[in-house]
């Protein structure tokens, strides 16, 4: 393997029939959050927007019509709400990592792409934030 080969990024397909991976997503979840490093951000809730893309293993063979057999987006949203409700966090990066870790705690989730945006920071910008992608260690 050359140095050039090690620097090539091989994108993971978030939905892929050949690898039996489905795409579970959450779009534009807007929540109130205590977030930020500045003193005025530590006592006043701010609006954030969360977007999630999860690459989920479909498992082998038979696909049922049972909720227990899938990664439920309702449970994912509840988990995000619980994390946000736990209290103040300094950085959007920290919140994104916590959300990714929560998603990856389900053994079926192979990859979690998480975007966290603060919506009301600058009057001339729609949002600011961070997007991360984390893979399961399994």
pLDDT tens for each residue of 24-82: 999 999 999 999 999 989 889 999 999 999 999 877 656 777 767 788 999 999 999 99
- Read off the pTM: 0.86
Q: Where are the alpha helices (DSSP H) in 39-91?
A: 73-84
Percentages of the chain per state (helix, strand, coil), in multiples of 5: 25, 35, 40
Instruction: Please name which of 122, 133, 115, 110 lies closest in space to residue 24, comparing C-alpha atoms.
Output: 110
CATH code for the domain in which residue 85 is found: 3.30.1130.10
What span, in angstroms and rounded, lies between the C-alpha atoms of 18 and 37? 44
Token couple for 88: 């103040």
pLDDT of residue 18: 72
Instruction: Please name which of 70, 46, 53, 58 lies closest in space to residue 122, comparing C-alpha atoms.
Output: 46
What span, in angstroms and rounded, lies between the C-alpha atoms of 100 and 112? 6
Domain that holds residue 34: 3-135
pLDDT of residue 70: 83
Let me know: does 133 contact 109? Beta carbons within 8 Å: no
How many domains is the chain partitioned into structurally?
1
pLDDT of residue 60: 65
Q: What is the pLDDT of residues 73-129, one digit of tens each?
A: 999 999 999 999 999 999 999 999 999 999 999 999 999 999 999 999 999 999 999
């Amino acid at each position: 393997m050359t140095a050039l080969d090690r620097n090539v990024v091989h994108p993971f397909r978030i939905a892929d029939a050949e690898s039996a991976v489905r795409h579970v997503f959450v779009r534009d979840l807007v929540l109130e959050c205590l977030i930020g490093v500045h003193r005025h951000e530590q006592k006043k809730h701010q609006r954030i927007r969360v977007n999630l893309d999860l690459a989920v293993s479909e498992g082998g063979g038979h696909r049922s019509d049972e909720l227990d057999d899938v990664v439920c987006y309702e449970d994912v949203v509840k988990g995000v709400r619980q994390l946000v409700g736990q209290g103040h966090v300094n950085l959007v990066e920290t919140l994104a990592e916590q959300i990714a870790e929560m998603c990856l705690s389900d053994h079926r989730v192979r990859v979690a792409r998480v975007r966290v945006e603060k919506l009301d920071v600058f009057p001339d910008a729609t949002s600011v934030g961070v997007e991360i992608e984390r893979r399961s260690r399994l």
